[in-house]
Every structure is written in C-alpha cells, then in structure tokens.
Amino acid sequence: MLERLLILSAIVFCIGMYGVLSRRNIIAMLMSIELMFNAVNIALVAISRYVTPAAVRAAGPTEANAASVLTGQTLAAFVIVVAAAEVALGLALLITLVRQRDTVDITQVNLLRR
C-alpha cells in the first residue's frame, strides 16, 4: 500500500511541476504549486502510517511509540500552514502586479531583466 501511495504522490508532484513550468498565468502557477504541496503531504502521512523507525521497532509498543505515528501528520499540518501563508503573499503580489503592469502573464514580468 505504501508504494502505491508514494507513486500517487510522485505523480501529483510531477503534474504540479509540469504546471509550474508550462503555464504562463501566475494564478495557474500558484495552483500548480498547491498541487505539489499536497503531494508532499500525501507522502508524509503515508510514510508516518506505514514505516516504523528501527529505534521505535526495537523499543516495542510503548506509549511514546504510539505518538511517533503522529510526527508525519504534524509535519503535514505545518506544510498546510506554510501553503496558506504562501498563497496569501502570492496573491497579494499578483494584485500589486496587475495594478502596476496590468498583466498576469509571467513572461511579461521582466523588471529585473532590463
């Protein structure tokens, strides 16, 4: 089951990467980045469910070991927090860009190239 979940995560990540590289609309690129965040979250939760660290396995089923299954879920929650912050800032930048340059096309944004 773990390998299927990891493959699913890899496919979603690569779809997101294709979107980031191929789209010209900044909003579409942001949405593709969200897909990549989600792929990472799937992988984190799947690994924390199916993989037992060697040290935990050796110690046997103790209370602290039951909690170690939650590490991946906690990390995924933090990834979601960072994704929310990223979307807020990205869209604020987008609105400023539209106000100043009147475009959402990433190829038209070349202020630093001139």
> Is the backbone of residue 39 left (phi > 0), alpha (psi -120 to 50) or beta?
alpha
Three-state secondary-structure class, residue 25: strand
CA max distance for the chain: 62
d(CA 15, CA 62): 40
Q: In the window 86-105, what residues touch other proteins (CB under 8 A)?
A: 86-89, 91-96, 98-100, 102-105
Determine if 33 is a binding residue for other proteins (CB under 8 A): no
Can you tell me which of 55, 59, 62, 80 binds other proteins, judged by CB under 8 A? Answer: 80
Shortest Cβ 73–other proteins spacing (Å) = 5
Binding mask 35-64 for other proteins (x = CB under 8 A): x--x--xx--xx--xxxx------------
